[in-house]
Structures are given as C-alpha cells and as structure tokens.
Amino acid sequence: MGKVYLVGAGPGDPELITVKALKSIQKADVILYDRLVNKELLSYAKKGADLIYCGKLPNYHTMKQDTINHFLVRYASSGKVVVRLKGGDPFVFGRGGEEAEALAKKGIPFEVVPGITSGIAAAAYAGIPVTHRDASSSVAFVTGHKQNNQQEDEKWESLSKGIDTLAIYMGVSNLPYIREKLIQHGKSRDTPVALVHWGTTEVQKTVTGTLDTIIDIVNEEKVENPSMIIIGEVVRYRDKIQWFEESLDKKSFMSEAL
C-alpha cells in the first residue's frame, strides 16, 4: 500500500510553498496537479514521476472529481506515493475534504499538508491586512458561487452584518449578485472593495473601489478570474502599505533602463 499526500501549493508565488509540501513533491511517484498550481513546482518532482493534469476552468472540468478520487485510490493501492497538488490550501475550497473522505472509505493512508490560501496571501500582496486592530476583528472565507435558496439569503445577511472582512473566492462572474446581496442586507454602498487578479504572481493586478462603484471599475479594467475579492474597511490600508506591485513596477523600470 502506498500513501497519498493532499498538498497545498500556495497562492501562486512558488517561494510561498511550505518545506513539507516541497518534500512531498520530491518523493512522489505520481503528482495530480490543478490549473492554478505554479508549474515551476513540478520541476522539483523526481525523474520518472508521472505528472497528471486535473485542472478545472470555469464551467469546464478537465477531469471530474470522481475520476480524480479513483486515480488517487488506484495509484496508492498499487504501492505508489501520490501527491494531490492543489493551489492554495487543500481544505479551503479545494475539495480536499471530499478526497480525504474517498481515501478514508477505501482504507488508503493519507496526509494533509496545508498551504497558504489566496484569501490571505493575495490580500497581503496587495497591501491589505485581512484583520487590523482598528478596522477588523473578523474575517470570513466565502465562495462566490450563487445558490438560489433560503439558506443563501440568510448567509449573506450574516456576512453583511456580522463579519468585518470578506475574502471571496471564485466570485468575479457573480460580483453584481454579491454586491446586491450585501447592500440589500445593510452593507454601506461606501464599503471599500478590492479585486486582486493573479495574486502573488508577477502579473498581479489590483483594482479598488466601493460597493457602489466596483462593478463599473471591474468592467472597465477587464478583471477576470482568477481573482480574490476583498470587502471591508481594511481595503483602505492599501493606500499606505501596498508594496508588491510597486516592487514589480520598479523591477520593470530597471529592466527597461538596462
């Protein structure tokens, strides 16, 4: 019997991967990796390791979840060390919990290797602290997928009234709906909003506005997925402490000068 490692690859910058995650990649016989995993990390795989792409695009799944589960069980059952490499953290909207359940059901040994999730990292690289003593004592990780039921409405009411900072994943296409629900349940139209596109990478781009203005700004700037949406007063700190995109601008300027 082999073993499966459910590994978080971090948010995009390959240097943000953990030491334990990197060691898992180096000893794997098989690596099943997702679309948002930085491909540079695959260069650490040992010679002869099987690299299997499982990436998903919005509304298009290269490999269905049941098929991924089947491969994890199959390879581990044949005695191989298997790494399931996921962007961010495997248990934060990564379906890692479902994969762990499938492995446990079949009696397959597995280990979870947490990773840095984009809800924290993309915000930090944009100069936005998701918590701050003067502005936010609570943060919620939220999926931006739309569901039409009573629980969905209750969820947005709780988020609007009870949470200081919202970090919303996979929400760009539903941003008008998210905005509508938050305002409907009492969030001020002046609440600051940021979208961080390809956070922590060299093509990171951040746009900011308010609930009242953000739709027009996103359309004008043509912001698409993958992007993190950060909503709350903490977004105002970006004006003072943004650092990463400024460093990219300086690096680009120096390259042009040379």
Q: Which residues are catalytic?
A: 34, 56, 170
Q: How many CB atoms lie within 10 A of CB 240?
A: 7
Three-class DSSP category at 252: helix
* Nearby residues of 5 by Cβ (< 8 Å), 6 or more positions away: 24, 28, 81, 82, 83, 84, 110, 111, 112, 113
What is the DSSP code string of 9-66? -BSS-GGGS-HHHHHHHHH-SEEEE-TTS-GGGGGGSPTT-EEEE--EETTEESS-HH
For residues 203 and 245, give the distance between their C-alpha atoms in angstroms, rounded to a whole number.
Answer: 9
